Copies of this chain bind each other. A is one copy, B any other.
């Protein structure tokens, strides 16, 4: 796998899947690194991922000024445009054909596990055709569900948004008590939902309950939990993953939508359905009047004002490292963020095999989830806090009661 001779040619980079707040840091990190390597001639960016390769719509990233590159790096969401398309075998052959046509010898694909898979297939095509070629997958996903990684670029900022949102929402719920349910992104992995726990400052702060896709969701248990917290505290803030599923693995949201459909009524595939369903259950079954649900939605991955500094730094380093690896050390691979042992937070970016990241998703390890499956553990807090970095400072009154006059 070690690279022998220097390979000279053009570079192509693309972005795929759901955007993140720092995905452009990886893009700019890669472009700036490429400028330092003599083996890379032109630096092309493909518009909308592999769609841009198939349609040969590239822009010349080598022509962008330093100021533009820095401005883009600090801008959320995929600056090259993204795509949800999964290439067919015919697409992969066509992609490989285009890469050859444009003398692309260095290919970088920023994305999740599907993008790692695509990169792997394209690399196989090159290998079969004996085309001398370097390619790297650059990790990103707010879901934090890539194998081989301690965490992935995008998660830290997504988690910072979620924690900040719960911090404010907990204060709101404290001022006007009731039950508040927030639905968080992450279809198969609960990391982002779990990050809501970082919002807690005082012992009575919410979220008071956290439901993750890694544990089966039982409506009766959920209602029992909410009832208990509401009785104890007079209020309850709940974090729920959009991906919660029953013991059979059926998504609660999907079950609800199906049910509504079968009645021949308005289809509710919009994002508010799961929150509304849970709020309605609490309202009707527990008889609590003030119940609200919010679905945090797309803000989680693209909000510009709440970016984790470590996340931004690591995303840029991941992009740069992929290019350095491809130019000097490895023919292909994926860059993975690993955590160095020791008390102080530090990461190392390593090269791992493309296949080891592709396809499968990583779930929350058992040690991060409490026994009852309705909260996270201190181990999760210790894991996530440095990735997210400092959160807003909040305060509350000591609140010395005034003696009542009889």
Contact = CB atoms under 8 A, between A and B. Distances in A.
Interface in A64-92: 64-65, 68, 70-72, 74-84
Contacts of A295: 272, 294-295, 297
Interface in A378-406: 392-402, 404-405
A302 B397 CA distance: 18
A56 interface: yes
Contact of A270 (B82, B176, B272): B272
Contacts of A169: 298-299, 302
A189 to B, nearest CB: 20
A303 interface: yes
A276 interface: yes
B270 A394 contact: no
Contacts of A288: none
A293 B271 contact: yes
Contacts of A365: none
A134 interface: no
A200 B185 CA distance: 26
Interface in A290-310: 292-299, 301-306
A269 to B, nearest CB: 8
Given A102-B405, A165-B303, 7 more contacts: A58-B402, A77-B168, A164-B303, A169-B298, A266-B276, A269-B276, A271-B276
